[in-house]
Amino acid sequence: MNFKVNREIISSDEVVYDGFQEQAVEFDCILPDYYPDIFKVLKCIVTPCIVSKNISDNKINYDLLVKANILYHSENSNALNCIEQKMVFSKSVDVGTELSGAEVKLIPTVDYVNCRAVNQRRLDIRGAISVKITATGEKNEEVICDAFGMNIQLKKEDVSAVGKKIIKEKLISVSDDIDIGYSKPAIKSIIRSECIVSSVDKKVIANKVIANGEIKVCFLYSLAEEGSDALEKMEFTLPFSQIMDVDGIDDSYECTLTATVARCELSPKENGDGEMKTVAVEADICLLCVAVRNTNVCIVTDAYSTTHPCECIKSDCFVRMSPERICEIHIEKIPVKSEDNKISCVYDAWSRIKNSSVITDSENNTITLAVKLVNCVIAKNDEGKNIVLENEHTLEHKFRCKDISEKTTVIPDVDILSVAYSLDDSGSIELKCEVRVCVNIKRVCRLETVSDIKIDESNVKKQEDYALKMYFADEGETLWDIAKKYSTSIEAIMEENDCSAEHGKILLIPIVS
């Protein structure tokens, strides 16, 4: 009798690389002639971003843009001046394995930055940037899904798993000229700016994903009025829409679309009346589409033959389950104190993410996300001087989620949506930080499966000299355990007894020839 085994390929996520790359940052900045001399450096704001990325064989190549905005005062003036410097670093990392179809995530953070005035016209900036690099690929495993012949008996388990995964990434550009309005004072220079994706929606059609969203642009600028040291803040939104070609996708896929700002440049320009009341915005947005389609997989977890000696070789198999993304809004109140002076007014406040960590609790099915924020405030004290305040604060957000295990991978995704502030009569500042906290949950089901079945066709099991046997079922025994023990079939036991195995119940075990 021929024995045949049917096998099937299943996939699971595999982290092929998880590490950091460091980049030293060194700026030697000489002021242009039209900038006033440096008297006091208030703050150096360093913003890193990944402006391009590509995967080639087993290498990740990317360009890291580091932008430094140095805020300073000149002598005998309280006006805030800003000089901007940029550097682009081309980086590469060899992960040692093929990256075709892998999901690659790069997160740059500022480790430290020091800025000093060498003289009245020259600045020296030293710092370091860390880029966290995570590459997740697919690991294919072969499992037995069925077998025929030699009176084989199979124990199977139906599992809902990810059958196919599609990853598509696209960089799009958004540009526009924004008029700040006639009621606002003209722009001298932009002191600080930031862009975030405030919303993104998707629509899936055959082989395409339509992305619609908005980016929120905030900037602080100094006034062009002669002798003015005041600052003005503006905020506006820009829509974006894009059609992504994603081969093979349709509405049978579960699709997650995320959008992040890779680069955002703002520059003031004259409007039609010759006034500096227009801002040219150029932004690059990275769209990432991850789509999965579930399938039911029947996996053999045990086997035996009723007539021949049979050896089952077992191994652990990790089945990729459907991913889950949970997003919630967290409001965190953060006090910011000035040690020496009271604050008379606040011009701007913002926060940036320094790092984040995840703690999973499988016993209570919770995920705790800890995010360290660096908070900055540009304000005027009661002596009429512009100052910059800074502190660090850690927020914690707890998610409740089912089916958390040691094999569950949780990747955090955090964005600062807005930072509002309040100033009380005593001059104390409280920030109200609106944070979008997301966790991408990747679950893996661990199964002990049969990886190979070896049947000794030259031997036949010794047949019992009786047709029925009375059996007293032990606690926890299943029909499969009993049938395997006596080389019979579950169907034969059920037909003979018309019941399932129960502790303390006497069963009649038919012997199958």
Question: Looking at the domain assignment, is residue 343 inside a domain?
Answer: yes
The answer to whether residue 487 scores a pLDDT higher than 70 is yes
pLDDT on residue 24: 94
121 Cβ contact partners less than 8 Å away, ≥ 6 residues apart: 30, 31, 37, 38
Which pLDDT does position 285 carry in this prediction? 94
CATH of the domain at 481: 3.10.350.10
DSSP of 240-252: EEEEEE-TT--TT
One domain for residues 408 and 507: no
Res. 8: pLDDT tops 90: no
Decide if pLDDT at 450 tops 70.
Answer: yes
Helix (H) or strand (E) holding 483: helix 479-485
Do 408 and 487 share a structural domain?
Answer: no
User: Does a structural domain hold residue 224?
Assistant: no
| Pair 434, 473 in one domain | no
CA distance 452 to 142: 10
Are 345 and 394 part of one and the same domain?
A: yes
In a domain, 371, yes or no: yes
In this structure, is residue 237 part of a structural domain?
no
Cβ distance 372 to 392 under 8 Å? yes
Q: Are residues 434 and 488 in the same domain?
A: no
User: Tokens 């600045």 — which residue?
Assistant: 123
- Both 389 and 481 in one domain: the answer is no
Q: What is the pLDDT of residue 78?
A: 86
- Last-in-domain residue among 409, 442, 475: 442
Residue with token string 């929120």: 216
Q: Is residue 395 part of a domain?
A: yes
pLDDT digits over 410-448, tens only? 888 899 999 999 988 777 899 999 999 999 888 888 888
pLDDT digits (tens, 9 = 90+) for 164-212: 888 899 999 999 999 998 889 999 999 999 999 999 999 999 899 999 9
Residue 26: inside a domain: no
In this structure, the answer to whether residues 355 and 403 fall within a common structural domain is yes
Domain shared by 426 and 473, yes or no: no
Query: Once rounded to an integer, what is the mean pLDDT over residues 138-153?
Result: 88
| Assigned domain for 488 exists | yes
Query: Of 43-47, 114-118, 175-179, 493-497, which gets the smallest average pLDDT?
Result: 493-497
Spatial contact of 92 and 53, defined as CB atoms under 8 Å apart: no
Choose among 441, 457, 36: nearest CA to 254. Answer: 441
Least confident of 11-15, 133-137, 383-387, 397-401: 11-15
Residue 197 falls inside a structural domain:
no
Q: Within this chain, do residues 426 and 488 fall inside the same structural domain, yes or no?
A: no
Is the per-residue pLDDT at 513 higher than 70? no
Strands (E), 337-365: 343-361
Model confidence pLDDT, tens digit, residues 268-293: 999 888 889 999 999 999 999 999 88
Angle at 37 between CA 32 and CA 38, to 5 degrees: 110
Number of domains composing the chain: 2
422 and 328 in a common domain: yes
- Give the count of beta carbons closer than 10 Å to the beta carbon of residue 402: 8
Q: What percent of the chain has pLDDT over 90?
A: 50
Contact in structure between 507 and 471 (CB atoms under 8 Å)? yes
pLDDT range class, residue 384, cuts 50, 70, 90: confident
Residue 479 is part of which domain span? 464-513
Residues 246-274 have pLDDT tens digits of 999 998 898 999 999 999 999 999 988 88
For 362, other C-beta atoms within 10 Å of its C-beta total: 12
434 and 479 inside one domain: no
Partners of 63 in beta bridges: 52, 90
Segment (H or E) for 269: strand 254-269
Contact (Cβ atoms closer than 8 angstroms) between residue 483 and residue 496: no
Query: CA neighbours within 13 Å on the CB side: how many for 2?
Result: 2
Q: Are residues 423 and 484 in the same domain?
A: no
